[in-house]
A and B are shown apart, each in its own frame.
Chain A
Amino acid sequence: MKYMLLMQFSEATTDFTPITEWTPQEIQAHIGFMGETNAKLTEAGELVDAQGLAMPATAKIVRSHAGGAPLVTEGPFAETKEFLAGWWIVDCDGPERAVEIAAYVSAAPGPKGEPLNMPIEVREVMSGPPTEL
């Protein structure tokens, strides 16, 4: 079963300081943890894909526009309160394991090595027609 673990950042639910204010050692420890986690998931054969996303400030919103060129807007993103920072797609035994992995990555180290407790949204990837149909 495939699950998508979404690293959701939200000012309302996270209370840690932004990474730009961490010390070099704290940043290094955080990056190291992420790298090791991906290596472990790869070794377990559970990692399908993991990606980080560029900041929302660089994103574009595209809408089709009847009869004309698509509407492309660059923001406004500066005030964004919630954004998707990256994701993992894991292929694991079931929902319990997906939650376990999500809990593990949620505890990535932040300032003073304390776990960040980032909110990680777990969504099953719909990979085939539902068996009930």
Chain B
Amino acid sequence: MPADDLLRTLAPQVVGVLTRRFGDFDAAEDAVQEALLAAAVQWPREGVPDNPRGWLIQVASRRMIEQVRAEQARRRREDRSARELPVDRWTAPAADEADPAGQDDTLTLLFLCCHPALPPAAAVALTLRSVGGLSTAEIARAFLVPEATMGQRISRAKQRIKTSGVPLRMPLPAEWADRLDAVLHVLYLIFNEGYSAAAGPELQRVELSGEAIRLTRAVRALLPHDSEVAGLLALMLLNHARSAARSGPHGELIPLAEQDRSRWDAAAVAEGVALVTAALPRGPVGPYQLQAAIAALHDEAPSAGETDWPQILALYEVLERVAASPVVTLNRAVAASMVHGPAAGFAVLAALEADGRLVGHHRVYVVRAHLLELAGDRPGAVENLRAAAARTASLPERHHLTLRAALLNNGPPDR
């Protein structure tokens, strides 16, 4: 395993061990960051130690103990009757000491970072830092905010966990379902941040999608029988498989129907399809499995024209019953128009507009443009594409929509 991957895998385990030993998540996290830094400098020069996990635990523990001692000295000065720490908390345990909890610490940390009391943005940042082992600078760059801002967000999140009084432990069985939902949601947010941000490697953007997939694999290794965990992993793999074909030479967006399917990652597609195929019959069927099944149908179609739209429409109908949202309804409108023609799509769209939640959203204009184009109303489609372009917050998407409007307005370049 390359040293970077090794460090990222070990980081959450070491934070878990130290937190259990010293009872201070915040300090443990800082100490481990310092140990990781030391490893990054030392290992390439002197080689990876025989027991890298033990090495990290020892270095981080030493740092923690220095902190504990400094703290103790300060207290003694301030308060003559300072209570002393129990002796067994003063010494570092043997580096190779067996740790029965072992790997489970990754999951414990993940559950801690995806605390329901945290706003999603904070949970995402904390997870990437503590479980993903990314530096604050890397996370800040990925989210296009100054490093100081991201540092603040992370420390506020840690403070919030501290004051919430929730102990560092696995949730009780009764809390399990809710907490797993939060964990999967955060992992999905991380994935989407990397997936929908169409920025090239020249911007040194952190590969967030890859990181989300790695973390979801870790969750799956620990919960191999949960069908939604499998569904989420499948969904990520099936979307990620298309990434090479999703943008052109200038970073412009290429929509699904126009992508060069030979550039899709066949191995990722196969793995995603196998995962969701195995998960679906096992049930219970949740939203991630359904979305993965839809993505699998897109990925398995030899061409855009051969997509199994009736099957996709049926899946969107189920998805709407399991996890209704305006965006799901919007997607169902597209699927309905592909199966039954534009009139069916307009009917779904009309119902959605009556509900009022998506009024003015750029996606509504995109879908309406698509339906109008199908119905042969080019000027109407152009007008809606321009309205969508004016409303999107994504620059690559704005470019894409403006260009599509121009293509539709002027006809293909060769004419």
* Contact surface of A with B, Cβ cutoff 8 Å: 19-20, 22-25, 27-28, 31-32, 35-36, 39, 42-43, 49, 51-52, 54-55, 57-58
Q: Does B30 sit within 8 A of A, measured CB to CB? A: no
CB distance from B31 to the nearest CB of A (A): 32
| 22 pairs of residues in contact across A and B, judged by CB atoms under 8 Å | A19-B402, A20-B386, A20-B389, A20-B402, A24-B403, A24-B413, A25-B413, A28-B250, A28-B252, A31-B252, A32-B249, A32-B250, A35-B251, A39-B200, A42-B203, A49-B144, A52-B398, A54-B390, A54-B393, A55-B391, A57-B390, A58-B391
Given the interface pairs A35-B250, A43-B202, the reply to whether A27 lies near B402 with Cβ below 8 Å is yes
CB-based contact A27/B403 at 8 Å = yes
Chain B residues within 8 Å of A57, by CB = 390
User: How far apart sit A108 and B244, CA to CA, in the bound complex (Å)?
Assistant: 28
Chain B residue nearest to A57 in the complex (CB): B390
Question: Across chains A and B, which 6 residue pairs bring their CB atoms closest together, nearest first?
Answer: A35-B250, A55-B390, A52-B395, A24-B406, A32-B250, A24-B407
Residues in chain A near residue B39, CB distance under 8 A: none
Distance in angstroms between the alpha carbons of A67 and B395 in the assembled complex: 38
Q: A31-B252, A32-B250, A43-B202 are in contact. Are A23 and B390 (CB under 8 A)?
A: no
As a 0/1 sequence over residues 244 to 263 of chain B, the CB contacts with chain A under 8 angstroms (1 = contact) are 00000111100000000000
User: Across the interface, do B391 and A31 meet the contact criterion of CB distance under 8 Å?
Assistant: no
Closest Cβ of chain A: how far from B90's Cβ, in Å?
44
Whether A31 and B390, one on each chain, are in contact in the complex, defined by CB atoms closer than 8 angstroms, is no
Interface presence of B410 (CB below 8 A): yes
Decide if A39 touches B406 in the complex (CB within 8 Å). Answer: no
Report Cα–Cα, A51/B395, bound state, in Å. Answer: 8
Q: How many B residues touch the partner, as a band?
A: 20 to 34
Chain B residues lying within 8 Å of A27, measured Cβ to Cβ, are 399, 402-403, 406
Asked whether B64 is an interface residue with its Cβ less than 8 Å from the other chain, the reply is no
Is there contact, CB below 8 Å, between A58 and B250?
no
B200, chain A: closest CB distance, angstroms? 8
Complex partner residue of A23 from B144, B250, B399, B410, CB under 8 angstroms: B410
Q: CA A31 – CA B386 in complex, angstroms? A: 16
Cα A35 to Cα B400 with chains together (Å)? 14
- Taken together as a complex, chains A and B put the C-alpha atoms of A84 and B207 apart, in Å, by 31
Complex: A52 Cα to B403 Cα, angstroms: 16
User: CB of B108 within 8 A of chain A?
Assistant: no
Would you call B250 and A54 a contact (CB within 8 A)?
A: no
Task: Describe A's contact surface by its main secondary structure.
Answer: helix
**B113: CB under 8 A from chain A?**
no
Asked whether A54 lies within 8 Å of B391 as measured between CB atoms, the reply is yes
CA distance A36 to B389 in the complex (A): 22
Of A39, A49, A51, A58, which contacts B390 at CB under 8 A?
Answer: A58
* B392 within 8 Å of A (CB atoms): yes
**Min CB gap A111→B, angstroms:** 12
Q: Given A35-B250, A42-B202, A54-B392, does the pair A20, B144 have CB atoms closer than 8 Å?
A: no
The reply to whether the CB of B293 lies closer than 8 angstroms to some CB of chain A is no
B236 within 8 A of A: no
Q: How far is the CB of A52 from chain B (nearest CB, A)?
A: 4
The answer to whether B154 has its CB under 8 Å from any CB of chain A is no
- The residue of chain A having its C-beta at the shortest distance from the C-beta of B393 within the complex is A54
> How many angstroms from the CA of A31 to the CA of B203 in the assembled complex?
17
Q: CA–CA, A25 to B203, complex, Å?
A: 26
Which residues of A sit under 8 angstroms from B144, Cβ to Cβ? 49
Could you tell me the distance in whole angstroms from the C-beta of A101 to the nearest C-beta in chain B? 17
Q: Which residue of B lies closest to A43 (CB)?
A: B202
Residue with the highest number of chain B CB atoms closer than 10 Å, among A49, A51, A55 = A55
What is the distance, in angstroms, from A60's C-beta to the closest C-beta of chain B? 12
Q: Which residues of chain A are near B403, meaning CB under 8 Å?
A: 24, 27-28, 31
Q: Which residues of chain B have C-beta atoms less than 8 A from A36's C-beta?
A: 250
Instruction: Check B405 for interface membership: any CB of A closer than 8 A.
Output: yes
Given contacts A25-B413, A31-B250, contact A20 B202 (CB under 8 A): no
A55, closest chain B residue (CB): B390
For B392, list chain A residues within 8 Å (CB).
54
> Is A39 a contact partner of B202 (Cβ separation < 8 A)?
yes
The closest CB in chain B to the CB of A42 belongs to B202
Please measure, in the bound complex, the distance between the C-alpha atom of A52 and the C-alpha atom of B389, giving whole angstroms.
12
